């Protein structure tokens, strides 16, 4: 286990609030390292991404924790899967095209808009070979929102973009990026 990481069951999502972890697990049998986050209490809403491992060997795919953190006043957040998008670039800045991409229907049910309290964190574990659309069953062979293959050795930049809906005409984006190395 990596220092600074805790081992818990893999959740489809979880919310940490006032020291409690609330979550939903499709199987409850898998585990993955969960980073211990530091949350500045005066920072407002923030996005943080953390890799489970900083290097992979093909055909493995990066596992990425995506956290939406609230260090400010309680606020309503949009957790619709379309609000988050993860893109990938090569070390030369060339964008990697998804190998599988499907459109997301306009209406897939009610959008989840919980209030994230001060000090609250929403987290999701994402496998980049099959980014789930958040509705129903998905996975390799079952249909994914989109996915990436990391077949060529080298460094890749993973960019996570959260589109924060604001009233009026302005849309604010929270962006975080990190690097993963594909080794032969």
pLDDT tens string 116-137: 998 888 888 889 998 876 655 5
The larger pLDDT score, comparing residue 119 to residue 29, is at 119
Structure-token pair, residue 139: 């996975």
Three-class DSSP category at 164: strand
Task: Give residue 113's pLDDT band: very low, low, confident or very high (50, 70, 90).
Answer: confident
Q: What is the pLDDT of residue 181?
A: 97
Quote the pTM value.
0.74
Q: Is the pLDDT of residue 22 over 50?
A: no
Identify the CATH number of the domain in which residue 141 sits: 2.60.40.2360
Q: What is the pLDDT of residue 37?
A: 57
d(CA 31, CA 150): 23
The larger pLDDT score, comparing residue 108 to residue 48, is at 48
Query: What is the number of structural domains in the chain?
Result: 1
Q: Is the pLDDT of residue 5 over 80?
A: no
d(CA 75, CA 68): 12
Task: Give residue 144's pLDDT band: very low, low, confident or very high (50, 70, 90).
Answer: confident
Instruction: For residue 127, give the DSSP letter.
Output: E
147-175 pLDDT per residue, tens: 999 999 999 999 999 987 665 667 778 99
Q: What is the pLDDT of residue 109?
A: 53
Please state, as a whole number, how many other Cβ atoms lie within 10 Å of the Cβ of residue 4: 11
Closest CA to 158 of 8, 43, 9, 55: 55
Q: What is the mean pLDDT of the chain?
A: 74
Tell me the residue range of the domain where 72 lies: 5-182
d(CA 34, CA 125): 9
37-96 pLDDT per residue, tens: 555 556 788 999 999 999 999 999 999 999 989 988 898 888 777 788 999 999 999 999
Q: What is the pLDDT of residue 1?
A: 34
Q: What is the pLDDT of residue 56?
A: 96
**Omega cis (within 30) before 59:** yes
d(CA 13, CA 57): 26
Three-class DSSP category at 81: helix
Are residues 64 and 49 in contact, defined by beta-carbon separation less than 8 angstroms? Answer: yes
The CA-atom distances, in angstroms, between 74 and each of 4, 15, 69, 93 are: 27, 14, 11, 37
């Amino acid at each position: 286990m990596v220092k600074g990481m805790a081992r818990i069951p893999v959740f489809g999502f979880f919310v940490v609030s006032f020291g409690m972890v609330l979550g939903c697990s499709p199987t409850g049998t898998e585990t993955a390292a969960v980073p211990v986050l530091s949350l500045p209490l005066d920072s407002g809403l923030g996005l943080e991404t953390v890799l489970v491992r900083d290097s992979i060997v093909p055909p493995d795919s990066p596992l990425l924790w995506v956290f939406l953190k609230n260090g400010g006043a309680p606020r309503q957040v949009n957790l619709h899967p379309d609000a988050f998008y993860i893109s990938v670039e090569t070390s030369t800045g060339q964008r990697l095209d998804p190998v599988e991409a499907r459109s997301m229907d306009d209406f897939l049910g009610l959008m989840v808009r919980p209030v994230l309290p001060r000090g609250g964190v929403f987290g999701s574990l994402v496998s980049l070979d099959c980014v789930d659309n958040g509705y129903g069953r998905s996975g390799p062979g079952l249909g994914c929102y989109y996915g990436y293959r990391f077949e060529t050795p080298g460094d890749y930049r993973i960019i996570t973009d959260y589109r924060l809906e604001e009233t009026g005409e302005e849309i604010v984006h929270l962006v975080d990026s990190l690097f993963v190395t594909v080794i032969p």
